């Protein structure tokens, strides 16, 4: 008697973005978002992330998908948030023996804006992650997702991007909002957006297809600047 043929599992990717106060996970196919979990309350990443993973794993199984890789937001962003996401991603990949894909937070923000359909073809995209005060982590991308300026720390002032006055500039990400009062030139368009796991879909699948995978044992997020722990004064004085 011939054994029944089991249907072939479809491929999906688990995506994790904990680079900001938003805790976002998604189950992604090549074509789109199969399921997602988003918490915007902030500071609950450690408490929620494992539960979100379990729920998305269950949904993948129910829908006939096999998780073949994990995509993680690779920074810059919140030091604590990125460490939480990286730890979960690395542990999942190690246990399941699947690839880890580290995608720049800024690249995923750019692709989120591109998929949103509001970026003209002649425009440049400047994704920004808030780094405190008037500083941001930023990069520059073309309207089709090509990186033109690498991720870096930048202090925003009135003359920022003045040398690109003839080109529409779209600022996106959670660092964009605080630029509104400083950058008032007509060629600058401010569109504050969230860092979401769903934005990892296109760059992560491309990275997987091109074999650009991270080393599960040694990969760490790109914080751009070293982490400086603030020690409370009473701790220094032993009070």
Task: Give CA–CA dist 8/34, Å, rounded.
Answer: 18
Q: Is pLDDT of 54 > 70?
A: yes
23 and 194 Cβ atoms separated by less than 8 Å: no
200 and 119 Cβ atoms separated by less than 8 Å: no
- Provide the whole-model pTM: 0.91
Q: What is the pLDDT of residues 80-135, one digit of tens each?
A: 999 999 999 999 999 999 999 999 999 999 999 999 999 999 999 999 999 999 99
What is the rounded average pLDDT of the residues 138-150? 97
Biggest alpha carbon–alpha carbon distance for the chain: 79
For residue 124, give the nearest of 191, 224, 184 by alpha carbon.
Answer: 191
Q: Strand order in 124-130's β-sheet?
A: 147-155, 135-142, 124-130, 169-172, 188-191
Residue 85's contacts (CB-CB under 8 Å, 6 or more residues apart) are: 16, 17, 18, 19, 45, 49, 72, 73, 221
Q: Which long-range contacts (CB under 8 A, 24 or more apart) does 214-219 make?
A: 214/74, 214/99, 214/100, 214/101, 214/102, 215/100, 216/90, 216/93, 216/94, 216/100, 217/90, 219/74, 219/86, 219/90, 219/100, 219/102
The overall average pLDDT reported for the chain is 93
pLDDT at 225: 86
């Amino acid at each position: 008697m011939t054994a029944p043929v089991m249907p072939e599992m479809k491929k999906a990717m688990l995506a994790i973005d904990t680079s900001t106060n938003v805790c976002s996970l998604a189950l992604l196919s090549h074509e789109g978002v199969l399921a997602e979990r988003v918490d915007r309350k902030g500071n609950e990443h450690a408490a929620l992330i494992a539960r979100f993973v379990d729920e998305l794993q269950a949904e993948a199984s129910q829908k006939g998908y096999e998780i073949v890789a994990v995509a993680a937001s690779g920074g810059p962003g919140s030091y604590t948030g990125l460490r939480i996401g990286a730890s979960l991603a690395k542990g999942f990949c190690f246990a399941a023996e699947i690839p880890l894909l580290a995608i720049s937070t800024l690249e995923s923000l750019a692709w989120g804006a591109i998929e949103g359909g509001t970026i003209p073809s002649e425009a440049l995209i400047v994704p920004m992650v808030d780094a405190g005060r008037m500083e941001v982590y930023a990069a520059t991308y073309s309207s089709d997702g090509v990186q033109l300026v690498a991720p870096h720390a930048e202090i925003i002032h009135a003359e920022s991007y003045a040398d690109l006055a003839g080109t529409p500039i779209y600022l996106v990400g959670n660092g964009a909002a605080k630029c509104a009062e400083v950058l008032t030139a007509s060629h600058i368009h401010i569109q504050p957006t969230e860092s979401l796991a769903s934005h990892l879909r296109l760059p992560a699948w491309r990275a997987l297809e091109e074999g650009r995978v991270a080393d599960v044992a040694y990969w760490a997020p790109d914080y751009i600047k070293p982490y400086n722990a603030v020690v409370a004064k009473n701790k220094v004085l032993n009070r």
